[in-house]
């Protein structure tokens, strides 16, 4: 074996491939988003244009944090953040309650739209949200960015 070669198993290779695809999706999203922002088009532009006065955000990873920064700076009302990982760490992010998905129906009274920040799992997340609240509008951040 060459000393510059690293051996990995098929399982490790498959996991790396999955991570590469996720990162590529996120990179493309950030590129589109930055291009829109450079042209003064923001997520809040879409929200105001379509009369979404109160939203919730699903996912508090790096993309979810960027969504929150952008919409909060434009005074969009964020009712909840949905992320079970952060519920156990204090339950709030920038003063916004963080809840589990199964509590959305019980607590949410004003949310008109849920923006999903986890682009690679959007279909499954939307299905899960609509199991709890069938008529709630759910969109991926990627879809919104394409529409602004």
On whether residue 56 sits in a domain, the answer given is: yes
What mean pLDDT comes out for the span 103-110? 80
Q: Could you give the count of Cα atoms lying within 13 Å of 98 in the half-sphere of its Cβ?
A: 20
pLDDT 10s digits, 15-45: 998 899 989 999 999 999 999 999 999 999 9
On whether residue 1 sits in a domain, the answer given is: no
In which domain, by residue range, is 117 found?
A: 36-147
CA 52 vs. chain centroid, Å, equals: 17
On whether residue 6 sits in a domain, the answer given is: no
Cα–Cα distance, 33 to 66 (Å, whole number): 10
pLDDT at 2 over 70: no
On whether residue 95 sits in a domain, the answer given is: yes
Q: Could you give the count of Cα atoms lying within 13 Å of 44 in the half-sphere of its Cβ?
A: 15
- In this prediction, residue 6 carries a pLDDT of 83
- In this prediction, residue 41 carries a pLDDT of 95
Cα torsion 33, 145, 132, 108: sign: positive
On whether residue 107 sits in a domain, the answer given is: yes
CATH number of the domain residue 96 falls in: 3.40.50.720
**Number of separate domains in the chain:** 1
Instruction: Judge if pTM exceeds 0.95.
Output: no
């Amino acid at each position: 074996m060459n000393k510059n070669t690293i051996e990995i198993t098929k399982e490790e290779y498959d996991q790396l491939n999955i991570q590469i695809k996720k990162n590529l999706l996120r990179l493309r999203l950030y590129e589109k988003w930055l291009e829109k922002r450079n042209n003064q088009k923001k997520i809040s532009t879409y929200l105001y244009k379509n009369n979404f006065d109160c939203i919730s955000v699903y996912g508090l990873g790096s993309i979810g944090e960027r969504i929150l920064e952008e919409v909060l700076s434009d005074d969009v009302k964020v009712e909840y953040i949905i992320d079970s990982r952060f519920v156990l760490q204090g339950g709030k992010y920038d003063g916004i309650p963080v809840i589990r998905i199964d509590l959305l129906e019980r607590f949410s009274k004003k949310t008109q739209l849920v923006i999903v920040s986890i682009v690679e799992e959007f279909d499954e997340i939307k299905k899960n949200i609509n199991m709890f609240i069938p008529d709630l509008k759910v969109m991926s951040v990627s879809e919104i960015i394409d529409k602004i």
